[in-house]
A and B are shown apart, each in its own frame.
Chain A
Amino acid sequence: DAKTTQPTSMDCAEGRAANLPCNHSTISGNEYVYWYRQIHSQGPQYIIHGLKNNETNEMASLIITEDRKSSTLILPHATLRDTAVYYCIVRLTSGTYKYIFGTGTRLKVLA
């Protein structure tokens, strides 16, 4: 099962881009990378996902390296409400669609 490695914590100034890295060196060719975030102790919230190509939606951008061994989630203009724990997850492809959550990155956006 592919696992992910993320920094424990990061700070970002309000209004600046927040770049959250993730390593997934054992990812398989048909496994997706997903990002979720958890604000306080609420249920996690989906942000974005990708396979090979870079992806962008209204919340964030996802940059996946060509070898797919790492990715970066970009919040283009971080706000105080983006303070949360961000989880990078590789979706298993055994037909079960299970997520394996790591410990995530605690992002603190500073005023």
Chain B
Amino acid sequence: DADVTQTPRNRITKTGKRIMLECSQTKGHDRMYWYRQDPGLGLRLIYYSFDVKDINKGEISDGYSVSRQAQAKFSLSLESAIPNQTALYFCATSDTGTSLNEQFFGPGTRLTVL
């Protein structure tokens, strides 16, 4: 079983709809991240969380919100989706206990907003 899972893997929605992307991990890591990737570009950080009570904005948090329901779960919400939020979304985790900070990425969610 994959250590970092994302649901759904693909989603098509309409402008103005509320969308939630979910991320779960079995690695026991404290830190979780949400990134988006646009075609031909690198990943940009949306939000990150270092534990259940810690939520921080990344580079491009406008139009998004997150919820850290448990150590293993980190959800990303688009309150009112717009077409320029069409992108590939990745969740990642990392371990607090080492200085390595290797991030482990999920398989991604491809979101299309019409």
Contacts and interface: CB of A to CB of B under 8 A. Distances in A.
B64 to A, nearest CB: 16
Interface stretch (A12-20, A21-29, A40-48, A65-73): A40-48
B44 A101 contact: yes
B34 interface: no
A44 B43 contact: yes
Contacts, number: 49
A108 interface: no
Interface in B13-63: 31, 35, 40-45, 48, 56, 58-59
Interface in B63-114: 88, 90, 92, 94, 100-108, 110
Contacts of B59: 100
B76 to A, nearest CB: 15
Interface residues of B, number: 27
A99 B45 contact: yes
Q: Is the interface of A mostly helix, strand, loop or mixed?
A: loop
A7 interface: no
A58 B11 CA distance: 37
Contact of A42 (B35, B56, B102, B107): B107
B80 to A, nearest CB: 26
A54 to B, nearest CB: 17
Contacts of B31: 97
Contact of B101 (A41, A42, A91, A101): A91
A103 B105 contact: no
Interface of A: 36, 41-46, 49, 87, 91, 96-104
